[in-house]
A = this chain, B = another copy of it.
Amino acid sequence: MTGKGERLLIAALGGVNEVGKNMYMLQHGDDILVIDCGSKFPDESLLGIDLIIPDIAYLLNNRDKVRALIVTHGHEDHIGGIPYLLKQLPMPVYASRLTLGLIEIKLKEHGLLRETSLNRIDSDSQLELGSVKVSFFNTNHSIPDCLGVVFDTPEGTVVHTGDFKFDMTPVNKQYPDIHKMAEIGRRGVRILLSESTNAERPGFTPSERIVGAHLEEAFVKAKRRVFVSTFASNVSRLQQVVDAAARTGRRLALLGRSMVNVVEVARELGYLDIPEGMLADPAEAANLPPEQVAVLCTGSQGEPMAALSRLASSNHRLIEIQAGDTVIIAANPIPGNERNVSRIVDNLYILGAEVVYGSRSELHVSGHGSQEELKLMLTLMKPDYFIPIHGEYRMLHHHRQLAEAVGVESDRIFLLGNGDVVESSGGVVRQAGRIPAGQILVDGLGIGDIGNIVLRDRRQLSADGILITVITISKEDGKILSDPDTISRGFVYVRDSEGLIREVNRLVTDTARRMLEENASQWNVMKQTLKDALGQFLYEKTKRRPMILPIIIEV
């Protein structure tokens, strides 16, 4: 095997200290393998940003060494960044069948489909990528076709679990391959990277199968139409909705672009079994007898633009909620989304719907393993070294405690930030150094480091608005040519607003005149002085700090 005596480097470019934008890197000598490339949705402090993806500077600086992108499964936080990655750095992609199908949809949208090398793998595949041999094992999760990855390197075996639970009664018969995992562990795992999403949760995550019985019960009880909102990517959940609809003699309409896409891909590739003639157009469904209708829709996280939210606001073009309809929200709100979901529930009740929601409804189970499953994985793999991944700090912290509890030595567990590197050289494993890592913000058509200045500006604008004052000054004699023109947006006046503006204008004129007389007429100095004077004045008067923008025009 080539590359003997080379260093092995492992790092996260995204996915640690956060949930989202997963991207991991394994480098042996001159061979770099990338695992996943996901995206993340911004929280409310990142105003106007659409998407966040990992910073790939390290890969760009080492572009000749990058051999392949290996994708563990088709969720957005593992594939959402792929088009942006491949646009800058083409590389062959290895993924399972459904995962590949979902990646293809994205590449098509970005016009990259034709030029990308897509390679289908499954749990029996074996690859040789440079000095690293790669093999796989089946896991299960809230989407079919998930794989864990095994890297055989001269420095030992590294295992990356992908996302997983241990659902021993999977709806789609894709069992977690416990025997293969045990064999991998028996042969020896030097370093394990395992996902930490539910590391705070005691116990065992229930099987997807329990949802099916509750779904059917809800369908039977429903007097009129049934709307089910759930994650489009959870194909097993979709199958159970299809089954419940079939058993209650209902046709099924789909609302929401991602729902339509996933159903199409999943059905085509044989992951979703929908009886012939069952699917109906939303427009068609709107005219059927209500007890013969079921609708699968997006928006279970309360996303304002998605189908469920529009149905709740009677805003959907194709179909509307009527009194007596049943709406099932088969998902738990991800932290941050609770208020949006609550608002939708309120609106649905106002429309007279029956609403089934909340964790007590038993219409949703997590796709991630809880503490007992994480310990099971650790026990099967028996790693020498452990790197918890895919989680915010407290989740990584709890996962570390689980690893210590099953017997991994404390000083052999690494809690990394994005960019931190774990190195193995001559059998010695330690945390050593950093590579560049961070976030790239995608905004409209712009990709780039939008940077703190713009975000800070937006933040100030959003809190206190802006006040703009324009003064014109004669080029010839440096005299002020007119009264200042002062305009504000998003800035609240205290009662007497005209009076306030008059005072502002007076202050501007006096300040500017004084500076011109003192010949202190460097424009940037004058602008700064105006900003300071106005800022102080406005704060005293209103207790607000709008952005102040003095504009000086020379004519």
Residues of A within 8 A of B (CB): 17, 43-44, 47-48, 200, 202, 335-336, 338-339, 342, 345-347, 349-350, 355, 358, 360, 392-394, 397, 443-446, 448, 450, 454, 457-459, 461-466, 468, 470, 472, 481-482, 485, 487, 489-495, 541-544, 547, 549, 551, 553-555
Q: Are A555 and B472 in touch, CB under 8 angstroms?
A: yes
CB contacts (< 8 Å) of A464 on chain B: these are 48
Cβ–Cβ < 8 Å partners of A393 in chain B: 346-347, 349-350
Q: Would A463 and B335 be within 8 Å (CB), given that A345-B394, A470-B470, A482-B553 are in contact?
A: no
Q: Is the CB of B358 within 8 A of A200?
A: yes
User: Ordered nearest first, which 3 A-B pairs have the shortest CB separation?
Assistant: A462-B462, A444-B543, A461-B461
The residue from B345, B392, B555 contacting A342, defined by CB atoms under 8 A apart: B392
Quick check: B457 and A47 within 8 Å, CB to CB? no
Chain B residues near A448 (CB-CB < 8 A):
492, 495
Instruction: State in angstroms the CA–CA spacing of A48 and B545 once bound together.
Output: 10
Measured CA separation A277–B446 after assembly (Å): 62
Further 8 A-B residue pairs, CB within 8 A, beyond A48-B464, A202-B360, A472-B472: A342-B394, A345-B394, A349-B393, A446-B542, A450-B492, A454-B492, A468-B551, A472-B553
Look across to chain B and name the residue whose beta carbon is closest to the beta carbon of A468: B468
Residues of B within 8 A of A47 (CB): 462-463, 490
Q: Out of B347, B446, B553, name the residue touching A470 (CB < 8 Å).
A: B553
Instruction: List the B side residues contacting A457 at CB < 8 Å.
Output: 465, 489-490
Q: Is the beta-carbon distance between A446 and B553 smaller than 8 angstroms?
A: no
Q: How near does chain B come to A201, taking the closest CB pair, in angstroms?
A: 9
Q: Which residues of B contact A336 (CB under 8 A)?
A: 338-339
Chain B proximity of A404: nearest CB distance (Å)? 15
Complex CA distance for A200 and B341, rounded to whole angstroms: 15
Q: Pick the residue among B355, B491, B554 that contacts A394 (CB under 8 A).
A: B355
Give the shortest distance, in Å, between A24 (CB) and chain B (any CB): 20
A360: chain B residues within 8 A (beta carbon): 202
**Most chain B CB atoms below 10 A, which of A346, A446, A490:** A490
Return chain B residues, CB-CB under 8 Å to A392: 342, 346
User: Taking the nearest CB of chain B, how far is it from the CB of A352, in angstroms?
Assistant: 10
A525 to B542, CA, bound (A): 33
A544 near B482 with CB under 8 A, answer: no
A465 touches which of B48, B355, B482 (Cβ 8 Å)? B48
Q: Given the complex of chains A and B, what is the CA–CA distance between A464 and B485 in angstroms?
A: 24
User: A476 CB to closest chain B CB, in angstroms?
Assistant: 12
- Contact: B547 with A489, CB < 8 Å? yes
**A472→B551 CA distance, assembly (Å):** 12
Taking a contact as CB atoms under 8 Å apart, the answer to whether A466 and B472 are in contact is no
Cross-chain contact A554 with B338 (CB below 8 angstroms): no
CB distance from A486 to the nearest CB of B (A): 10
- Inter-chain contact B200/A468, CB cutoff 8 Å: no
Across the interface, A544 reaches (CB within 8 A) one of B338, B443, B465, namely B443
Among A458, A492, A494, the most chain B Cβ lie within 10 Å of the Cβ of A492
CA distance A318 to B246 in the complex (A): 65
- The complex places the Cα of A547 from the Cα of B553 at a distance, in Å, of 21
A464 CA to B462 CA in the complex, in Å?
Answer: 10
Of all chain B residues, the one with the shortest Cβ separation from A445 is B543
Q: Report chain B residues within 8 Å CB of A48.
A: 462-465, 490, 492, 544
CB distance from A52 to the nearest CB of B (A): 14
Contact among B487, B490, B549 with A487 in the assembled complex (CB-CB below 8 Å): B549
Q: For A492, what are the chain B residues with a Cβ–Cβ distance below 8 Å? A: 48, 443-444, 446, 448, 450, 454
By a CB distance below 8 angstroms, the chain B residues around A551 are 468, 470, 485, 487, 551
How far, in whole Å, are A466 and B338 apart by their CA atoms in the complex? 31
A446 touches B489 (CB 8 A): no
Closest CB-CB distance, A402 to chain B, in whole Å?
A: 14
Is the pair B461, A489 in contact by a Cβ cutoff of 8 Å?
yes
* B458 lies within 8 A of A462 (CB): yes
Contact A466 B461 (CB under 8 A): yes
Tell me how far the C-beta of A527 lies from the nearest C-beta in chain B, rounded to whole angstroms.
11
User: Given that A339-B335, A492-B454, A553-B553 are known contacts, is A397 also in contact with B349, CB under 8 Å in the complex?
Assistant: yes
Contacting A490 at CB < 8 Å: which of B454, B470, B485, B495? Answer: B454
Query: Using Cβ atoms and an 8 Å threshold, which residues of chain B touch A43?
Result: 339
Distance between Cα atoms of A445 and B551 in the complex (Å): 27
Please indicate the chain B residues that have their CB under 8 angstroms from the CB of A459 in the complex.
462
Shortest Cβ distance from residue A439 to the other chain B in the assembled complex, whole angstroms: 15
Q: How far is the CB of A234 from chain B (nearest CB, A)?
A: 22
